[in-house]
Structures are given as C-alpha cells and as structure tokens.
Structure 1
C-alpha cells in the first residue's frame, strides 16, 4: 500500500467519537481565525472519502454573511477547476469522481483571483506544509501563483493525516496554513 492509501484508510477508520472530537476542535479554530473572519469570498469543498465534514463550516460562513464557492471540474479544461457560488438552493450533481459539485451555470462562476481564502482538501501533509492530494494535481495547478493574488490557502485535515515527510515535487504547492486536530 502507498502512503495515499494508508492515510485514507486511517482517516476512514476514525471512530465517530474521535471524528466528532477532532472536527469540533477544527471548527473552533475556524470560528476564531482572524483571516477567515475578515474574508468575504471563501472557496471550500464538499467532504468526500472521510474528509473533515465541511457542512458545518459552510453553514457558519453563511451565518457570517460570507460568499461561499465550490469547485467544479472545468468543462473545457478537465485538469483545472472553476468556482461557483454556493447557496442552500444550489443544485448539486456528482462529477466523474463521484464528488458532489454545483451544476454549471456560467452566471455563478466566480473569478479565482478574487477569492480571499481557498480551503484545500488533502490526503496527507507534513510539518513543512506540503500536502498530498488525491493525485489529480487540481489544487497544485490552482494555487501555483496564490501569493501574487492575495489568496490564503488553508488545508483541512485530521491529525492522523500528518506524516513525517511528503516527498514533494517542484510543482507541489506548500500550504501556509493547515487546520487540523
């Protein structure tokens, strides 16, 4: 088994109690995070495969009058993401990976460079901030120039996803922050 499979299995094996305790600690960090509280436009993902449950985060952001955006696979460039406005009325469909995403409506597309924060999914991470995703490279391509665009990427993870060292490649993007418990 490779590191991606091992960590995904560890994440899925968290008991409901362990998962709940960790998620509550993660939510508290988010609720008290200065950059999140001052941000207006926040991209986040819908949880999949045992990831930190993002629905409570999304509901909190809506309560704080934040605009929330979800990624979709770009219809004309299948290795890139677009972000669409997400509300409680947004129709969701499953993409080719089985992950729910908003149904494409060009009126709801939001320019990536105008996002303040991008919550970033990950499978594993190390203390340097390097992450391992699911292997598609979507977020590495997306975040390649985040520093010049004033975007703050924040990883979300459980503590069991932290590893000693990610064997990062030159194109891998180091996250400035990872919220985990």
Structure 2
C-alpha cells in the first residue's frame, strides 16, 4: 500500500480502515487458525508475555487475529487472563475483567462478547489497567516503525493514557495479521505508544 501522508484527512483514515478490515475478513477459517497458532508461538517467547501473571487479551471480532490459543498455556502457568469490558457510566473507556470458563458473557453494543457488566462490577473480579503486567490489543493496521491505527473509537487510548506518565504500567503489545501491515502510517497525537507489535509473521519493537 502507498505511504499515507501526514496531511491525510480523516476520510483517508476511514478508507484505510475499511481496506485493512476487508483484508483480514477475507482470510478463510484455515488461514485464520494457522495465523493464530503462529501468533501465539511468537507471543509465548516474548519476555513480556512469558513473565506476565496478569495478562489482558481480547476475543476476536471482525476478522481480528485470535490470541485465545494462549488461554490454556496461561492457565497452566497459573496466570490470570482478563478481557476488556465497556465501562458503564464512563464513555469510551474500558474495565479489565477476569475471564475463565465459567465467566458469564453478554454481547455488547458493538456485537462483541464480553463478561457481563454485573459480574465485572465486583472489584475482586477486575484489575486496574496499571496493575496488569501486559495488555494484548487488536490493531487495524501497523507499519515497520511501530505506528498503528485502530478502529477509531479511542477506547484503549483513553483507558491507557496514564501510561504516558511516570508510574506502574503494563506492557502494551499490539496484534494483527501480517496482511494488515502498510508502508507507513502517520502518528496521531492521542495514540498511546506500544512496546511491541506482533503479527503472524514478525515481531516489531518500535
């Protein structure tokens, strides 16, 4: 894909999102499964993931690369897995709620499965973002310099804005299919920097 200029209008970003989402949706089930296994092999070798005792990931939607093959490995190591949940009464921010086989699930307004808000409302069942060891977040696109583009809602950027300040913070690792890689993306001022980007073919350290 051609370079996206820094002066590109919001319309250009919307068109880029549509194109990159189309690419990942066109992967068939066999390709998705193979990509997920390659991704998770790489993630298990990452120090940030290998050492994590409290790790947040996501359930794939809209063709996103699938990190859930990590779940049995995390459980075997005694690590706890967390899922993002739309935070009630706080627009465009997230909770991270403990996820296991018996977690009650609902479908949120975006059609994404997440732990029931009433379940996550109990403080013992969720973890503050700053106290997590690592967060795996889905990307719509990325480049070799570590720039990335998301869905445009800003949920992760708002929730993780604190990582720009001194203090405890999780390691942030963006995940995507390698077909979502582009030549160059401009940085947006609100983008929270990532520690790594992992696809099914490469690991990038911005």
Q: How does 1:108-147 map to 2 (within 5 A)?
A: 108-146=125-163
SS of equivalent residue, structure 1 residue 84? strand
State the match for 2:203 in structure 1: none
Deviates more, 1:13-22 or 1:50-59: 13-22
For the 8 Å contact 1:146–1:152, the answer to whether it is kept is no
Structure 2: unaligned runs, 5 residues or longer? 1-13, 201-206
Q: Does 1:69 pair with 2:82? A: yes
Aligned CA-pair RMSD: 1.6
Q: In 2, Cα distance between the equivalents of 1:84 and 1:156? A: 20
For the 8 Å contact 1:12–1:49, the answer to whether it is kept is yes
The TM-score normalised by the length of structure 2 is 0.82
Structure 1: unaligned runs, 5 residues or longer? none
Count the aligned residue pairs. 181
The TM-score normalised by the length of structure 1 is 0.93
Q: In 2, Cα distance between the equivalents of 1:16 and 1:51? A: 12
State the match for 1:155 in structure 2: 174
State the match for 2:35 in structure 1: 22
Rg comparison, structure with higher value: 2
